[in-house]
A and B are shown apart, each in its own frame.
Chain A
Amino acid sequence: MSTQNSAAHSFNKVMEIIDRYERSETKIIPILQAVQEEYRYLPQEVLTFIATSLGVSPARLYGVATFYSHFSLEPKGKHILKMCDGTACHVRGSSAVIDAIRKRLSLTDKKITTDDMMYTFETVSCLGACGLAPVLVVDDEVHGQITPEEAMAILDKIDAEEKENA
């Protein structure tokens, strides 16, 4: 894991989060959620810091962090795409959209973040918007009844915006 950011990590924010949850071991999950919200992932040194503060072993914390799919130990890209591959989306053709996005971003089911850290593409099991299947969520915005062509158009738009801002 990269250590280049570690100097920049100020643990004040982490301290504040841990205090908000009264340093309670039973609040590990909400603490990790809040920390991930802050850093967009769970840096190793932050995990160790939390473990020490809570008086639990780093292994205990690592166990929780790796059990739940929401937690990421790797940094994520600037734009996060989540494609629903729940039953309803699956039977309505989510696979074709998944294949198209992976191909365009040169990603696989194992490698989910592009090398330039611009995109992270994940599949999720169900977003509960089955009436609109198949569903793609781009940076928390839900797009329903999506086709591979529409997914490409969304990526084109983000690419264009990024170019403009660059």
Chain B
Amino acid sequence: MPNLEQIRERYNDARALCKKRIIVCAGTGCIANGSLKVFEAIKNAIALSGMEVTVSLKSEDPKEHKHHDVYMIGSGCQGFCQVGPLVMIEPNGIMYGHVKPSDAEEIVSRSVAKDEVIERLLYQDPLTGKGYKGPEEIPFYTKQSRTGLKDCGNVDPQNINEYIAHGGYFAARDAFTKYSPEELCKLYQDSGLRGRGGGGFSTGMKWNFARIAEGEKKYVVCNGDEGDPGAFMDRSILEGNPHSVIEGMLIAARAVGADEGYVYVRMEYPLACSRIRKAIKVANEMGILGDDVFGSGQSFHIQVMEGAGAFVCGEETALLSSIEGKRGMPNPKPPFPAQKGLFGKPTVINNVETLALVPIVMQKGPENYRKIGTVKSPGTKTFALTGHVANTGLIEVPFGTTIREIVFEIGGGVLDKDGKINNDAFKAVQIGGPSGGCLTREHLDLPLDFDSLGSIGAMVGSGGMVVMNDSTCMVETARYFMTFTQHESCGKCVPCREGTRQMLEMLEDITKGEATEATLELLEETGRTVKLTSLCGLGKSAPNPVLSTLRYFRDEYEAHVKAKYCPTKNCKALTPISIDPEICVGCTLCKRVCPVGAISGEVKKPHKIDPMICIKCGACISACKFKAIS
């Protein structure tokens, strides 16, 4: 059994011999921006300057402990992807953004050898130009409360000792040595922890169902099939702190009595797959996973399964079919996976973020955990903040935070169609991806939690949060989501297979100007039917974006069907006919041929078409002798 205290102590001793620590973000986003090259450049620059640098801290054996000027790690996602590649320097608390390999020398000579701050590399407020030194000052971070993400971007995901030194695996050891499975289920029920994958079901209750289910063989499955476009917290956690997921799975395994686990990860996330595989291997070698977990006599082994590109596999029963080597189609519930899941055995399925929070709940204790967030939704939630917002990235806030705080404070404001910060350009926030709904200006001060969002026809879902400015067409957005769900519908049940297709065709008609008001009625009715009658969560939630935009942006739909006009000019077929005032001579011919009186103007002055009246018959276009109308 690994001696966690000793590992922690030795790691801390070894760390104390390092003068500085440099953390280069090596999450998918920063790597795409060239962070690995930055890592190498800084490492080389340190070596050239005559300082001593290590990239793998040997801590196990005190005899190997030695002095290093700099200890460098590549971390997982630090959340502020837009400013990447990110470089942190400790203990000074400096964070540099948009770092290029050519900056390495200056960083080393000024901020590593000395303690100077390089102003030009600091994050600057896009409005005021004020530079901020690091996460302790940058508003993007100070307004958050990072708990699940705290170590993500701060620990070396490939170094288990560092995870242990940060308190890792102590909760799992307690679970196996101090608690009975029943007590564990109760502890998590008391904590109020709810599943972060979408549904928000009580984690402790789910475990308890699996615990009391009869059977020798039970499974714990980690759902990392994060398919919702616009969400990437699960990827970031698997890349940045894979051991927290393993620890969560261990605690779940203890609570239900499982001896085998699966981590199901999307194949679109190659880095997440390799990091979790490596972490499992190391945990096995150290004896944390294996045949006798923490001397309890219980064994627990984890396998990784890569998905093969099917969104529906994020649905738990479909995911289980996929692990069994079948087409990933969902099955009716009940029986619930907790009773009859993988290979017919009781199975607990938790999402990545939930599992990463499990050790934290135990560290804090259920009472303290309940103090964060709202009464019915305790704790924090990670959101992927993207779209038309100044600061995009991964954020974590307590439940109960408002959209206003998230978009305008953490997000730094809305970007208008010219890419400038202009909060008046705010139109909506689409939350929960293709299963969620939109929040409008009237919801800016709504405290976000599972129940408040449900009550207005949206959902927390996976936590994708896409900000949209006033140049976004909501009908086109609904059509976009429906294209996605229709494409991903597995075809098993009729309401989803046929209903989403019909809904998509109606939405296409609307964006092409071929629909009438009756289409809106039919669209709404079809949406309600699909929602009520589909087999799984995909179909049940697929109409949400449509129903929610119909509810809050009905005038926009009506403009499309009545006036055949797209107010944001996104729908090409519905861009209004207009008269070029430079060419128009004011002959009044068009005004006279217009059958609906949409054209106005005085003689010899440029005329205008009122798009709300225009029926786009084209009579004016053919009548105009000066080709001024198009």
Contact = CB atoms under 8 A, between A and B. Distances in A.
Interface of A: 24-30, 32-33, 63-64, 67-71, 85-92, 124-133, 135, 140, 142-144
B386 A131 contact: yes
Contacts of B32: 129, 132, 135, 142-144
B430 interface: yes
Contacts of B311: 125
B268 A132 contact: no
A88 B392 CA distance: 10
Interface in B423-456: 430, 433-434
A27 B323 CA distance: 8
Contact of B484 (A89, A125, A140): A125
A131 B325 contact: no
B613 to A, nearest CB: 30
Interface stretch (B160-168, B222-230, B292-300, B581-589): B222-230
Contacts of A32: 308
A63 B268 contact: no
Nearest to B477: A91
Interface of B: 28-29, 31-33, 80-82, 84, 226-232, 235, 266-270, 305-311, 322-329, 343, 384, 386-388, 392-394, 430, 433-434, 464, 466, 468, 472, 477, 480-481, 484, 488, 490
Contacts of A140: 270
B386 A88 contact: yes
B124 to A, nearest CB: 18
Contact of A126 (B231, B306, B477): B231
Nearest to B436: A87
B230 A25 contact: no
A68 B308 CA distance: 5
Contact of A29 (B33, B325, B392): B325
A131 B322 contact: no
Nearest to B236: A128
B82 A132 contact: yes
Nearest to A90: B480
A126 B228 contact: yes
Given A68-B328, A87-B466, A130 B267 contact: no
A125 to B, nearest CB: 5
Contacts of B384: 88, 130-131
When A and B form their complex, which 8 residue pairs have the shortest distance between CB atoms, in order from nearest? A131-B81, A86-B229, A68-B308, A142-B32, A88-B386, A70-B309, A126-B229, A128-B232
A87 B329 CA distance: 24
B138 to A, nearest CB: 15
A162 to B, nearest CB: 24
Contacts of A143: 32
B324 A132 contact: no
Contacts of A128: 28, 226, 231-232, 235, 266, 268-269
Contacts of B266: 128
Contacts of B386: 87-88, 130-131, 133
Nearest to A141: B32
Given A87-B229, A130-B230, A130-B386, A30 B306 contact: yes
Contact of B308 (A27, A70, A126): A70
Most buried by A among B270, B305, B327: B327
Contacts of B472: 91
Given A33-B267, A128-B235, A131-B392, A88 B387 contact: yes
Contacts of A126: 227-232, 268
Nearest to A130: B386
Contacts of A28: 325-326
Given A87-B229, A126-B229, A135-B32, 17 more contacts: A26-B323, A68-B309, A68-B328, A70-B267, A87-B433, A87-B464, A87-B466, A91-B388, A125-B484, A126-B230, A128-B266, A129-B29, A130-B81, A130-B229, A130-B386, A131-B392, A142-B31
A66 to B, nearest CB: 9
Contacts of A87: 229-230, 386-387, 430, 433-434, 464, 466, 480-481
A131 B394 contact: yes
B313 to A, nearest CB: 8
A68 B33 contact: no
Contacts of A127: 28, 268
Given A131-B81, A131-B82, A144-B32, A88 B308 contact: no
A60 to B, nearest CB: 9
Nearest to A24: B325
Contacts of B464: 87-88, 130
A33 to B, nearest CB: 6
A142 B323 CA distance: 28
A87 B29 CA distance: 16
13 contacts: A30-B305, A68-B307, A68-B309, A68-B310, A69-B309, A91-B468, A91-B472, A125-B311, A126-B231, A128-B266, A129-B32, A132-B29, A132-B32
